[in-house]
């Protein structure tokens, strides 16, 4: 069956599967992680020059993260408020989008954080190659005995922005081009946030890419849950139905 003739849900799952294989191949069979980290590392001085720069450490990792966390909290509050006291003038697509956004604001960072805690991969600045003490181990390789887990994959900081790709739910599926455009813009922003962490030596490229993949999977799951009237969702608020009687 041609890809374009497949149902949209099947195409989304196929895209997730294909991208997961691609990220896995990049990390397992190429040196792109090391090559990019080498470019950010000053071997003569034995440091990542941008590790403690104001923009990378204070703005990107502290200030921007705080702003994004406040924005995420606001999205959750608005979604919960609409669940408790639905806005009667909201279109079904707007209500669905708001609930997907609120759900994603919580679930994307939480899922990424839990997987990060369970991972054994180390951050670049912990590796012997970059002045640390740990060996470089790829995702599918066994961690040597006596080496502590690194808890660095997927990239946690990028998840503070990756939940924003859920904004695409406001226009899906009625306006697919706009939905893809908004999703792509938010993805580019979040990858940029993650890339700044890479410049600090905090993560490899594939750490950020796995975070992006996880965020896409979580947002898709949230959309499916909301669409199937999970958590008591209804496209027409109960108050509105009573008002129209």
pLDDT of residue 8: 65
Please indicate whether residue 177 or residue 236 has the higher confidence score (pLDDT): 177
In this structure, are residues 101 and 169 in contact, taking their beta carbons and an 8 Å threshold? yes
Give the pLDDT confidence of 18-32 residue by residue, as tens digits.
999 999 999 999 999
pLDDT of residue 89: 85
Please indicate whether residue 83 or residue 184 has the higher confidence score (pLDDT): 184
Give the pLDDT confidence of 185-208 residue by residue, as tens digits.
999 999 999 999 999 999 999 999
- Give yes or no for residue 10 having a pLDDT over 70: yes
Mean pLDDT over 115-135 rounds to 96
pLDDT of residue 245: 41
Enumerate the domain spans of the chain.
51-141+151-230
**Average pLDDT score, the chain:** 91
Give the pLDDT confidence of 45-84 residue by residue, as tens digits.
999 999 999 999 999 999 999 999 999 999 999 999 998 8
Band the pLDDT of 114: cuts 50, 70, 90: very high
């Amino acid at each position: 069956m041609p890809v374009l003739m497949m149902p949209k849900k099947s195409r989304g799952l196929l895209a997730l599967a294909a991208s997961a294989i691609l990220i896995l191949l990049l990390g397992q069979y190429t040196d792109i992680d090391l090559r990019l980290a080498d470019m950010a590392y000053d071997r003569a001085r034995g440091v990542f020059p941008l590790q403690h720069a104001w923009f990378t450490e204070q703005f990107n990792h502290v200030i921007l993260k705080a702003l994004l966390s406040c924005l995420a909290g606001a999205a959750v509050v608005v979604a919960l408020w609409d669940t408790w006291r639905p806005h009667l003038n909201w279109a079904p697509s707007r209500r669905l989008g708001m609930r997907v956004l609120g759900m994603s604001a919580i679930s994307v960072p939480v899922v990424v954080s839990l997987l990060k805690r369970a991972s054994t991969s180390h951050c670049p600045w912990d590796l012997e190659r970059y002045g640390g003490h740990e060996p470089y181990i790829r995702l599918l390789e066994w961690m040597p005995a006596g080496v502590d887990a690194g808890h660095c994959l997927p990239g946690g900081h990028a998840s503070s922005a990756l939940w924003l790709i859920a904004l695409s739910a406001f226009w899906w599926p009625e306006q697919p081009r706009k939905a893809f455009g908004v999703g792509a813009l938010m993805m580019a922003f979040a990858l940029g946030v993650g890339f700044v962490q890479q410049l600090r030596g905090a993560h490899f490229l594939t750490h950020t890419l796995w975070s992006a993949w996880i965020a896409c999977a979580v947002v898709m799951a949230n959309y499916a849950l909301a669409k199937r009237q999970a958590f008591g969702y209804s496209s027409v608020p109960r108050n509105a139905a009573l008002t129209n009687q």
